[in-house]
A = this chain, B = another copy of it.
């Protein structure tokens, strides 16, 4: 009977052994708890909240700790049913697998202390969301995107190189034009790069802007070329994905 329970638990915990198209109910619950725990950690960094709700955070942290400890032990117990993790050597291999290490790191320190310095480590749990990548639909979508990006990586390198080059050019131009008028903002190329970045990405914080006529003309030219810097990777990605989608379909049709 224990063997049967162990088996059921294994199928429910192991994403790849679950026969359904989506996640098993247990994994869906655990995923939700992971998300809530990350959300709770984020809120806990805000003093406004901890001032009022400290006791709730304490309860939540203990709750998450117990849940994730139980999960860790349970996974360790049933993982032996997967051939590659069978036996003592398999168990050791499982212990040093990335996800297992993340799971461990996100619980061990908290058995000893809940000091705020450990707070951020618990955000690492978010990485467990990556397990979702094993859901068939998401997995094939991810592969399609990866294939498109990898096939057109040289085109993307060029557009990144161009972006860096334009940013440097923008910074140097404005450094020459405006360094004497606004030494704080354009007194050196690294300083001018801050403006160049904000302009070429079209973020435009507005903490730094041009005053001189020539500087404004340069800024205008670089701001417009910023459109090109957005347009190029977008165009490459669109074309690459369009390619990748079509290929995928042709394969599907050919297989039918």
A105 to chain B, nearest CB (A): 16
A81 within 8 A of B: no
Q: Which of the 9-residue segments A7-15, A61-69, A93-101, A133-141 touches chain B? A: A133-141
A210 to chain B, nearest CB (A): 8
B-side contacts of A229, CB under 8 Å: 227
CA of A199 to CA of B176, assembled, Å: 25
- Are B241 and A227 in touch, CB under 8 angstroms? no
Contact residues of A between 188 and 225, Cβ < 8 Å to B: 188-191, 193-194, 197-199, 201-207, 209, 213, 216, 219-220, 223-224
A56 within 8 A of B: no
A216 to chain B, nearest CB (A): 5
Contact residues of A between 121 and 166, Cβ < 8 Å to B: 123, 126, 129, 137-138, 140-142, 144-145, 152, 154-155, 157-158, 161, 163, 165
CA of A236 to CA of B232, assembled, Å: 10
Q: Which of the 9-residue segments A18-26, A41-49, A84-92 touches chain B? A: A41-49
Residue ID in chain B nearest A208 by CB atoms: B205
CA of A193 to CA of B241, assembled, Å: 30
A109 within 8 A of B: no
Instruction: Known A-B contacts: A46-B189, A235-B237. Give 9 more (CB < 8 A).
Output: A42-B168, A45-B189, A144-B155, A193-B220, A201-B223, A205-B205, A206-B206, A230-B234, A236-B237
5 contacts between A and B (CB under 8 A): A142-B154, A234-B235, A234-B237, A239-B239, A240-B245
Minimum-distance CB pairs A-B, first 3: A235-B237, A141-B154, A206-B206
